[in-house]
Amino acid sequence: MQRKRKGQEKRLLEIPWDKRAIFLKRPNRFLGICQDPETGSQLKVHVRDPGRLRELLFKGNEVLVRKASNPDRKTKWDLIAAKGQGDDWILVNSGFHSKIASLILADEELSPFGPASDIRPEVKVGESRLDFVINLKEDSATQPIYIEVKGCTLEQGGKALFPDAPTKRGTRHLQELIRLVDADKRAAVLFLIFCQTVSCFDANKATDPEFHRALYEARERGVEIHPIKLAYKDGYIWYKGEVGVCSR
């Protein structure tokens, strides 16, 4: 039986940071330049999230950075989070998405699918590599569930929107999930939402109409959509509950 925690917080994962900094510019997809407010010196930071993040990574915005574990790396810092609306911190490091999702899937109170007996990451399916395949404890005869995970940092008008940049890869993943459902298998997408002021989730039609079309086609064909709200505060990721898909 599915047991889903609603309206309750649960601490999931510690993600420490070392320094507050001021964002200056993003010369390329993976490089950010920040300023240390204490010394005035510039910091080269690695930007892990491939999205545009224009609403978060703009000149003058406050960010949280962490010292890189490899002292020989050209970028000596990792970007962890950026200041969002109000006092909320938004996680902008996609390197943690898989771990966060695996913790949700392993927790029978939080998982949208119920208790899992087996969680396998990075499974090749067709021409794609999906994030997880899980088996459920309740019935050994139950088919595995194929799961793709996406991180969402964009909020507009109380809606969480994905993507914030066109994503052919994301559309391809949805098409792969549709093919699985058409083959009588179970498939789903987890959207990890790091915005705190949203009440529902939607595909970003203005930015990527192909992804928007593919998501709603996937939903109509039987792919499960699970938008999950998360918070980054006090150096931890907190589970905040599942939100619905916005009415069309």
111 within 8 A of 24, measured Cβ to Cβ: no
Q: What is the pLDDT of residue 7?
A: 53
The three-state DSSP-derived secondary structure of 90-156 is EECCHHHHHHHHHHHHHCCCCCCCCCEEEEEEEEEECCEEEEEEEEECCCCCCCCEEEEEEEECEEE
Q: How confident is the model at residue 1 (pLDDT cuts 50, 70, 90)?
A: very low
pLDDT in tens, 141-153: 678 999 999 999 9
Say what the pTM is. 0.93
The residue that leads in pLDDT, 143 or 119, is 119
Mean pLDDT confidence for 79-108: 95
Residue ranges, CATH 3.40.1350.60, the chain: 94-245
Residue-wise pLDDT for 149-180, tens only, equals 999 999 999 999 999 999 999 999 999 999 99
6 has pLDDT over 80: no
**Strand order in 244-245's β-sheet?**
154-156, 159-162, 200-203, 244-245
CATH of domain 94-245: 3.40.1350.60
pLDDT digits (tens, 9 = 90+) for 24-81: 999 999 999 999 999 999 999 999 998 899 999 999 999 999 999 888 899 999 999 9
Identify which has the larger pLDDT, 7 or 106. Answer: 106
**Portions of the chain given CATH number 2.40.50.580:** 16-91
Predicted local distance difference test score (pLDDT) of residue 139: 64
- With a pLDDT cut of 70, the percent of the chain lying above it is 96
Q: Rounded CA gap, 41 and 130, in Å?
A: 41
- Class for the domain spanning 16-91: mainly beta
- pLDDT by residue (tens digit) across 186-208? 999 999 999 989 999 999 999 99
